[in-house]
Structure 1
Amino acid sequence: MKKKIFLAAVFMVLMAAACKKGGVLEQVKTTDLTEESTFADSARTMQFLTRIYTDIGFSADPKRFGSSVGVYSICDEVEGSLLSATAYNVIFQTGSISAINVPTDAWVTTYANIRRVNVLLSHLSTVPLSQRLRDRIAGEARFLRAWYYFILIKHYGGVPLIGDVVYGATDPVPGKRNTYEECVNYIESECKAAAQILPQIYTGLDFGRVTKGAALALRSRLLLYAASPLFNGRADMDGVLGYPNADPGRWNKAAQAALDVVNLNQYGLYELAGGMGFQKVFTLRKNNEYILAAMAGNNRTLEAIWDPPTRTGTGSAMPYQELVDAFGTINGKPITEDLKSSANPTGYDPANPYVNRDPRFNWSILFNEGMRLNTSKTVTPVFTYSGAAQDGFNFTKTGYYLRKMLDDNTIASTTSSATERCFPLIRYAEILLNYAEASNEAGDLQTAYTQVKAIRKRAGILPGAEDNYGLSDGLTKETMRAVIQNERRVELAIEEHRYWDVRRWKIAENVSNKTLHGMKITRVGTGTPATYTYELINIRTPAFIAPKYYLWPIPQSEVNKSAELMQNPGW
């Protein structure tokens, strides 16, 4: 099995390299490699398809905007280390983003791959492959096209749909934006069509390709967004930015879409005793929880950018105290409501704040005295208190480093083994949370309870006397909504959800204008065990100045190409 997994990873890496500069396709004369010759060859056709796959994770990439700056560092999850006025984490957090300096990848990378899909589909009927394989390739390609369109609409709202047309370099490209509803309907239809064609599983060298489950899972995410307040009832720009009419029934459709994934009986939460499954799942290339992942060979990518300096990382993504505080206690309660006492020994202790916490906290945040592998291949504490050598407060602005997804046996140094990790793009845990949210909004609180309890059980939270995993009886839609929103924040942290969630919930103007904090930790004396004091400090106050920030501006360079292409309001 390990050999098959290794070969699959090598296949994906080689196929990706084949379409990059210096890769296999570059080793032939360019005069010999034309569109016709590419699709007259079965191997080159598969390489062309794999090239479309290589960008599948760009939006969620922890290094999307350079260095360690990803979407997680332009919201209230982590403070990035880049300080330049032109660094994207600074531009977004200070409200300095504009149509001139906005990243172009959400537009350029997506449309480039949509065009590649159309090119592939236009030649597929004549490619020298079996009909069965051509059908599967069509399913993969149509999923990928839907995937890239979804990235577009979460950034901008409705965008131009180009169908199957392949535009040439000199062809006039229509710039008129389709309505949000038209875009959702198109993406949904592509997901459903792909799901009809694609297999539920792959083995051997095909492992990592998109499946029926991935197509249904993308539909679940799509319809959850479409039912959310930002898009479900927005009349400006003649429906380009959302449905003009707010229809609560869209939540029912979103709930059913999530249930369709559940009913495949193909996926489950990766469970180990004590919540260890939440940690281990991120280090495994193959598991029963990942529905879609950005494939990669064995790597130390996240260790290199997230681990502290003593663990040979750069420690350049530093969690805010707000993310730290979102993790409740091991009893499943908020830390403000579950204080430690003689009658409640497993409650939160402000004098010892990192014990008795939701086990996901220990696997997501590297805190003072948290344990990590070092260069001697032993596990030792990381000290982040003020004045501590190397990893202390002079190195982490917030008092924390990221721990999530890091392998216990891996650091950035090549003296350690590399991990099998592939970055998750859709996990089954997300589908259960989608199901919980949509069901709650549709008035089905019992289903919401069931899904949240399943997530918390896997996390290692104590069940309590009533097996409610910290959930109170008799929650209303509003109180359950708050629970689910926080559950998404901690379960899906650092996976490119939080930034978009607070926007689709239309609460960014409330949560994104508040000061974000760190924790200054001071050691008291030299006794053993060490004791500390904790002081909340200000890190930054992000700027969410106007409603226009709910959507990105279309890059001005693209708007300038077509008089039909309308810019988003306010930009």
Structure 2
Amino acid sequence: MKFKYIYCTFSLFSLLAVQSCSIDPELTDVYVEQVAWSSEANVELSLNKFYPLVGQTYYTSHVNQDAYADILKKNTPNDEINLLVLGSTTITPGANALDNWAWGYTWIRTCNEFLDGLQKNGQHLPKEFYQRAEAEALFFRGYVYFELAKRYGARVILYNDLNDGVARPLNTPEEVWNFIAADLDKAAAQLPVTVSASNRGKLTKGAALGLKARAMLYAQRWKASSDAVEALQALNLYDLYPDYAELFKQRRREAKENKESILEFGYLAPNFKYSFDYFFGPPLDGGYAQISPTDNLVREYQMADGTDFSWSNTAHAAKPYEGREPRFYASILYNGAPWKGRTMETFEGSKDGYAIGGGTTCTGYYLRKFFDEKLTDLGQGELTFYFMRYAEALLIQAEAYAQQDRLTDGAEALNKVRRRAGFTKDLAATNRTHLLNLIRHERMVELAFEGHRFWDLRRWGLATTVLHGTHVDGVKITKGAQGTFTYQIVDADNKRTRVYPEKYNRFPIPLTEIQRNAKVEQFDEWK
């Protein structure tokens, strides 16, 4: 392992993972390999470099991924995401905005270097510390392989040791999912059940079980997925936070108890912060308004009594933003919404209003979820990012149960999420398809903007229907002389048709890998 430099203070990477920690490394400019492994403090510093993998950029990458789906729209017409979803650019083996091959194998190499060095040089470390260090590296390797697997149909190259430079072929999906499961199983077995308050954000057994549940859902290993959630629940540590809106207003410095957080990423301004509100906030806030929720999503938020909203319902259409479920008000800034001491105005002609061309909303809506209403300097954001929360685990469980025809159990997991959302009438399903449709709706709403929608549509086999030959909708609002409003559903894609060919369900192996590795052949659909 090539440990040449180790930073002797907590870097930005370290602050992402933990609030504070008693680490006192040996201070020098250059370390030989033996010094790097000589103390728990030095090894801990090396582990901290992995934590940016779970949230360094707050929710920026997640909302951008959701803009490839039907719930968010980039407001600038020539944004690269708009160009791709509307077919002006295409995915090819040489150019893919959603490719992560080089990123993935860089991190896999880093994980394997750490594991190799730990095995060779860490035998003097306390057993409990050694096992936790190994488990953290295995968790991150499993996570990186999962991110590769979901893009490339689980046809990737497995390395469980340092790459010897010998070309290797693609592994089978069965081998890849087995590898991911094994890494996460061992991580779960060796990670602590809990961590101290000062180490909040470090990996735990629950984090490994939660990630395994997510990965096995993609693998369509339904029992393995539901078993992982059941093991997580057996820890008796996790529950839904009582208030959905308040869940997304948590600051690490406030140290509130939050049983919904399975793995989170903390920020502490001014030393470590993010600028999410600056890039995505409304113009009147001083934001760049890069992205807006679509009406495709907004109309999925039900009425408070659990009935569906419909623009065809004259009462709903007259007052579309009244009487909706609480998650709507927690997630969406709409015309008339109270916000930062003012009333949002998204009608045509207002500063925050509807327009085409960028710099303001082209759908009639802005994000509310993830924004800090108390923030005055938009570059000083410090709310918590959730890599995984218990609501997602319940929805994973519901789907995995549904696929095993455990309809009652699946509906119960689903209804737990809905009860927190304020619904008093539980849902029941008559068959597997019915329950899966209910779960798909709930994931769209509950997990909005958290980076799941695009990948969900792909794994469900629905992307070629929902994202191809379609457009997303916005609402153009006009204010009348008497202060009344009229609402017109408009094509937010400006009469362009969305493009998602079937071969996008498995991205091409990057051209660079094909050129340097004679044992890797391009997928048939991309030749």
Output the TM-score relative to the length of structure 1: 0.80
Partner in structure 1 of residue 474 of structure 2: 518
Q: Secondary structure at the match of 1:326?
A: coil
Decide which moves more: 361-370 or 552-561: 552-561
Shift, 1:138, TM fit:
0.8
1:543 has 2:498 as partner = yes
Give how far 1:336 is off. 3.4
CA contact (8 A) 2:277 2:381 kept: no
**Structure 1 residue 16: deviation in Å?**
6.5
Write the distance in 1 (CA, Å) between the matches of 2:476 and 2:399. 36
Distance 1:101 1:77, change over 3 A: same
1:447 aligns with 2:409: yes
- Counterpart CA distance in 1 for 2:316 and 2:399 is 31
CA shift, 1:337, in A, is 10
Q: Corresponding residue for 2:249?
A: 283
Please state how far the C-alpha of 1:458 moved relative to its aligned partner: 0.8
2:371 is the counterpart of 1:406 = yes
**Which ranges of 4 or more aligned residues in structure 1 deviate by more than 6 Å?**
none
Give SS of 2:474's match: strand
Question: How far does residue 539 in structure 1 lie from its aligned partner after superposition?
Answer: 1.7
Q: Distance in 2 between matches of 1:254 and 1:40?
A: 39
Q: What does residue range 152-231 of structure 1 map to in structure 2 within 5 Å?
A: 152-167=148-163, 171-227=164-220
Which position in structure 1 is the counterpart of 2:20?
Answer: none
Q: SS at 2:386's partner residue? A: strand
Give the partner amino acid of 2:327. R
Counterpart check, 1:15 vs 2:10: no
Distance 1:535 1:335, change over 3 A: same
Contact 2:477 2:485 in 1 (8 A): yes
- Unmatched segments (≥5 aa) in structure 2: 1-8, 18-23
> Which residue identity lines up with residue 164 of structure 1 in the other structure?
N
1:369 has 2:336 as partner: yes
Residue 258 and residue 339 in structure 1: after superposition, are their counterparts in 2 closer, same or farther (change >3 A)?
farther
Equivalent of residue 302 in structure 2, options 328, 352, 356: 328
Is 1:384 matched with 2:349?
Answer: no
- Counterpart Cα distance in 1 of 2:34 and 2:81: 40
1:312 and 1:412 in contact (8 A); partners too? no
1:45 and 2:43 matched: yes
* 1:348-398 C-alpha deviation (Å, 9 max, x unpaired): 61111011111111111111111211xxxxx21110100113444362111
If asked which structure has higher relative contact order (CA below 8 Å, sep 6+), I would say 2
Which residue in 2 is equivalent to 1:498? Answer: 453
CA distance in 1, matches of 2:202, 2:131: 14
User: Closer, same or farther in 2 for the Cα pair 1:183/1:478, shift >3 Å?
Assistant: same
Supply the distance in 2 between the matched residues of 1:560 and 1:294 (Cα, whole angstroms): 38
Mapped partners of 1:102, 1:14: distance in 2: 27
Identify the residue that residue 244 of structure 1 maps to in structure 2.
none
Whole-angstrom CA distance in 1 between matches of 2:523 and 2:267: 36
Cα pair 2:283 2:289 within 8 Å, conserved: yes
Q: Distance in 2 between matches of 1:114 and 1:411?
A: 40
Partner of 1:262: 233
Shift of 1:17: 9.7
The Cα shift of 1:430 comes to 0.6
Give runs of aligned pairs for residues 292-371 of structure 1, distance below 5 A: 292-298=263-269, 299=273, 301-336=275-310, 349-371=316-338
Distance 1:412 1:426, change over 3 A: same
SS in 1 for 2:145: helix
SS, match of residue 320 in structure 2: coil
Deviation at 1:35, TM superposition (A): 4.3
Distance 1:412 1:371, change over 3 A: farther
Q: Given that residues 176 and 564 in structure 1 are in contact (C-alpha distance below 8 angstroms), is that contact kept between their aligned partners in structure 2?
A: yes
Alpha-carbon distance between aligned partners in 2 of 1:266 and 1:382, rounded to the nearest angstrom: 39
Is residue 2:115 matched to residue 1:121?
yes
Q: Is the 8 A contact 2:261 2:390 kept in 1?
A: yes
In 2, Cα distance between the equivalents of 1:90 and 1:71? Answer: 14
Superposed displacement of residue 12, structure 1: 6.9
Number of residue equivalences: 494
In structure 1, what is the equivalent of residue 6 of structure 2? none
Please, which of 475, 479, 484 is the counterpart of residue 430 of structure 2?
475
Matched residue, 1:4: none
Q: 1:98 to 1:294 in 2, by over 3 A?
A: farther
Contact kept, 8 Å, 2:268 with 2:382, in 1: the verdict is yes
CA distance in structure 2 between the partners assigned to 1:551 and 1:14 by the alignment: 32
**One-letter identity of the residue aligned with 1:102:** N
Q: CA deviation at 1:438?
A: 1.4
Q: 1:83 to 1:35 in 2, by over 3 A?
A: farther
The letter of the residue matching 2:259 is: N
Three-state SS of the structure 1 residue aligned to 2:54 is coil
290-299 or 307-316: bigger deviation: 290-299
Q: Distance in 2 between matches of 1:104 and 1:475?
A: 38
| Aligned residue number for residue 232 of structure 1 | none
* Offset at residue 92 of structure 1 (A): 4.1
1:136 paired residue among 92, 107, 132: 132
Q: Name the structure 1 match of 2:68.
A: 74
Structure 2 CA distance for partners of 1:89 and 1:110, relative to 1, 3 Å: farther
Q: Taking structure 1 as reference, are residues 359 and 124 closer, same or farther at Cα in structure 2, changes over 3 Å only?
A: same
Q: Following the alignment from structure 1 to structure 2, what is the Cα–Cα distance between the partners of residues 180 and 351? A: 51
Residue pair 1:321, 1:517 contacting (<8 A) in 2 also: yes
> Does the CA-based 8 Å contact 1:306-1:403 persist in structure 2?
no
1:437 matched to 2:399:
yes
The 1-side partners of 2:182 and 2:519 are apart by: 26
Percent identity, aligned pairs only, is 30
Q: Could you report, residue by residue, the CA deviation over 1:64-99 in whole angstroms, capped at 9, with x for unpaired residues?
A: 4xxx972011111211134447x2442244261222
Separation of aligned partners in 1, 2:268 and 2:133: 23
Structure 1 residues 481, 15: closer, same or farther in 2, change over 3 A?
A: closer
CA offsets 1:1-52 (integer angstroms, 9 cap, x no match): xxxxxxxxx957363699xxxxx99x965xx345454334543322221112
TM-score (norm 2): 0.87
Q: Distance in 1 between matches of 2:502 and 2:231?
A: 34
Report what 1:532 is aligned to: 485
Classify 1:44/1:17 alpha carbon distance in 2 versus 1 (closer, same or farther; 3 Å): farther
Aligned-residue offset at 1:258: 2.1
Unmatched 5+ residue regions in structure 1?
A: 1-9, 19-23, 228-249, 272-276, 341-347, 374-378
CA distance 1:405–1:516, change in 2 (3 Å): same
Partner of 2:3: none
Matched letter for residue 478 of structure 2? T
> Which amino acid is 1:53 matched to?
Y
**Partners in 2 of 1:129 and 1:266 — Cα distance?**
29
RMSD: 2.8
Distance in 2, Cα, partners of 1:399 & 1:76: 15
Alpha-carbon distance between aligned partners in 1 of 2:91 and 2:60, rounded to the nearest angstrom: 18
Whole-angstrom CA distance in 2 between matches of 1:329 and 1:193: 44
Q: 1:102 to 1:175 in 2, by over 3 A?
A: farther
- After alignment, is 294-303 or 117-126 more displaced? 294-303
